[in-house]
Amino acid sequence: MAASDIDKTLEEIRKAQADMAGEMDNTQLNTEEQRGLERASLNLRNLERSLVKSIENELLESLKKEVSTLSVVIAEMKKSSEKLFKVTEILDHVVKITGQLIDILAMVK
């Protein structure tokens, strides 16, 4: 069930609960009608809880997937930065050696 469908359903359930709550105060209802409204209200409340729980579960699963994806991206970034660090170390050595060669050539001249 899509999130928008769940939102609409929850809205309808809450409206029905509000309507029933107002109707329960009706003094013209007999005991059986009152009990019927109470059972219907309880069923709606249970349905609402089930839908909310479903939304919570979907959200948790979505968050778990996003965290997993982020972990993969972070690992890739670490690998890239390690490779880049190794390259910069090599370049740093090349610069030092080149500097030393320049100094040697300057002394020989």
pLDDT given at position 66: 92
pLDDT given at position 22: 87
Q: What is the mean pLDDT of residues 79-92?
A: 90
pLDDT given at position 1: 65
Total domains in the fold of the chain: 1
Instruction: Considering only the C-alpha atoms of the chain, give the largest distance between any 2 of them, rounded to a whole number of Å.
Output: 116
Q: What is the pLDDT of residues 3-40, one digit of tens each?
A: 778 888 999 999 999 988 888 888 898 989 999 999 99
User: What's the domain range around 71?
Assistant: 3-108
Residue with tokens 């979505």: 62
Distance CA 10, CA 52 (A): 8
What global pTM score does this model have?
0.59
Distance CA 64, CA 57 (A): 11
What distances in angstroms separate CA 45 from CA 10, 49, 57, 90, one per listed residue? 10, 6, 18, 67
Query: Domain containing 96 — which CATH number?
Result: 1.20.58
What is the residue-averaged pLDDT of the chain?
89
Q: What is the pLDDT of residues 50-85, one digit of tens each?
A: 999 988 888 898 999 999 999 999 999 999 998 888
pLDDT given at position 27: 85
Could you tell me what percent of the chain has a pLDDT over 70? 99
Axis-axis angle for helices 3-24, 31-108 (nearest 10): 150
